[in-house]
Chains A and B, each alone.
Chain A
């Protein structure tokens, strides 16, 4: 095969891959601005003739419209569920950073017996299937009246995100030069002081990476939220999924909900994309 043909095939393949990735998202975006009869048609409308924000109002449960009563009933309180998801993910993220930084530091730097066993057990938690965790904790949390509370969800999300956070930060800390830390110790700083003054500033990019990934994972999480929330702490993904099959799927509002739900992870991508690889792979590839 000549070089020119090869180059043509390469470009064609990339264009096809790009189309496969982007088209579904673009279609969701376009649909979210359509009026109902432009959605329910066998001849797709590619440019909405009269772009509307009605779907967004319905998706957030704002529009109380006789026409689409079933939709607003299904999405009632969706705005609140969005806030709940942001709060849950936000609190979890802060806690993960606060807990994982010292733990990652200790695992990377302090050489005591049992260190590698502790490290491997932390990583082990990354592997556990959510169902195995959810079943006994559901019974336990019910007895403790924690079902449908933010505390339950945050505890579960800490369990699922701490392992990767600790391991990622550990990997980053392991690559920092140790001399600065030791200089701080010579100056008489305590471990916590040293962590705060010396390690955290240098580690900032890694901390940001861990934070954004944690936030996106928790904001998007579905399985645990489906089981552990009902009404008072219903999250946005569960609310969105519940809109399906309430008397015919309301495509417009659902695509609008999809676009709204896209915002936090998209911000994640913008802030932390340089570090996503390391974070997501637990530093398994070096």
Chain B
């Protein structure tokens, strides 16, 4: 008994087992987080020494129309993608039977999210191609041949479709897990009592799925605000600045304009957007697991 208790309360063992992981996270997580704040407070370029400018970078940012454009694009992208992914993911999760023959579809539906974003981008670039693309081949008799990615009002929604393709599987998977965990008995009882499909969904299923929906919105929300890969490969932020999200602008400021301090300030704004969701997420996961 005493042996058991000492093992289970021994701080030395605890730190021995966790310290390798903590050291790595300190070096490639905490340190860069602090260092990039320092960078944001300096004017640093590739040539010449950096000098401390306080909140100058943040002040410039507030007056930068390109920054506000990136914020609007990021939020528009996130809102569109998140809401449609939730609707479609939930619909597929509920449409698929709990068990039986149809379940072979589950691994098939998972495919897009395992595919590399670059490969997904290449595939959709080809589908969206104005002349040789499959989409315009189908739509040609109906609406002609729009240049999906070269049109500044079509490009962002077109990229959202790719995000929906890639990530609805994730939403589906989590909501299906929650649906499988929901009580079949309550559902049956309500059905026997004569509840219609809509009532069944609203009053029986939705309340049981609510925690999972919350979790999905948080995880996807955090990730969709960081979106970079598909946009970078497919449009590079163009045409013009019409698909330049915060992630793309940060990359360009840092690695094309070499304006590192300003890029760091931009990245802190992205961090601020994400952290709101992140803290909610940590609280939520912490509650269920600790």
Residue of B21, B137, B267, B274 ringed by the most chain A CB atoms within 10 A? B21
Interface pair B95/A42, CB less than 8 Å apart = no
Interface pair A240/B119, CB less than 8 Å apart = yes
- Least CB separation from A222: chain B residue: B229
Q: Which of A120-153 contact B (CB under 8 A)?
A: 120-140
Interface of B is mostly: helix
CB of A166 closer than 8 Å to a CB of B? yes
Q: In the docked arrangement, what's the CA distance between A120 and B284, Å?
A: 11
Q: Which of A61-69, A201-209, A265-273 contacts B (4 or more CB under 8 A)?
A: A265-273
The tally of residues in B whose CB lies under 8 Å from a CB in A reads 104
Q: Which of B158-190 contact A (CB under 8 A)?
A: 165, 169-170, 173-174, 177-178, 181
- Least CB separation from A283: chain B residue: B289
CB of B109 closer than 8 Å to a CB of A? yes
CB of B254 closer than 8 Å to a CB of A? yes
- Least CB separation from B35: chain A residue: A136
- Least CB separation from B127: chain A residue: A24
Q: In the docked arrangement, what's the CA distance between A237 and B118, Å?
A: 6
B215 touches which of A39, A127, A281 (Cβ 8 Å):
A281
Q: Which residues of A contact B219 (CB under 8 A)?
A: 281-282, 284
- Least CB separation from B91: chain A residue: A13
Q: How far is the CB of A250 from chain B (nearest CB, A)?
A: 11
Residue of A6, A43, A185 ringed by the most chain B CB atoms within 10 A? A185
CB of A210 closer than 8 Å to a CB of B? no
Interface pair B39/A191, CB less than 8 Å apart = no
- Least CB separation from B251: chain A residue: A131
Interface pair A133/B29, CB less than 8 Å apart = yes
Interface pair B17/A106, CB less than 8 Å apart = yes
Q: Which residues of B contact A249 (CB under 8 A)?
A: 125
The tally of residues in A whose CB lies under 8 Å from a CB in B reads 108
Q: Which of B6-14, B53-61, B62-70 contacts A (4 or more CB under 8 A)?
A: B6-14
A125 touches which of B25, B174, B286 (Cβ 8 Å):
B25
With contacts A103-B20, A129-B271, A135-B32 known, is A25 near B115, CB below 8 A? yes
Interface of A is mostly: helix
What is the number of contacts between chain A and chain B, taking CB atoms within 8 Å?
312
Interface pair B7/A103, CB less than 8 Å apart = no
Q: Which residues of A contact B121 (CB under 8 A)?
A: 241
CB of A94 closer than 8 Å to a CB of B? no
A269 touches which of B4, B25, B110 (Cβ 8 Å):
B110
B260 touches which of A103, A129, A135 (Cβ 8 Å):
A135
Q: Which residues of A contact B8 (CB under 8 A)?
A: 109-111
Interface pair A44/B134, CB less than 8 Å apart = yes
B127 touches which of A27, A102, A116, A135 (Cβ 8 Å):
A27
B21 touches which of A18, A41, A103, A241 (Cβ 8 Å):
A103
Q: In the docked arrangement, what's the CA distance between A241 and B251, Å?
A: 16
Interface pair A185/B7, CB less than 8 Å apart = yes
Q: Which of B98-133 contact A (CB under 8 A)?
A: 102, 105, 107-112, 114-127, 131-132
User: Could you jot down 16 A-B contacts, CB within 8 Å?
Assistant: A18-B109, A28-B119, A28-B123, A28-B126, A44-B137, A105-B17, A112-B14, A120-B282, A128-B274, A131-B254, A186-B4, A220-B118, A255-B122, A261-B118, A284-B218, A284-B285
Interface residues of A (CB under 8 A from B): 1, 6, 10, 13-14, 17-18, 20-25, 27-28, 31, 39-44, 99-100, 102-103, 105-107, 109-113, 115-116, 118-140, 155-156, 158-159, 162-163, 166-167, 170-171, 174, 182, 185-186, 191, 216, 219-220, 222-223, 226-227, 237-238, 240-241, 244, 249, 251, 254-255, 257-258, 261-262, 265-266, 268-269, 273, 276-277, 280-286
| Closest A-B pairs by Cβ, 9 of them | A159-B28, A127-B278, A136-B35, A220-B116, A106-B17, A102-B17, A265-B114, A103-B21, A258-B119
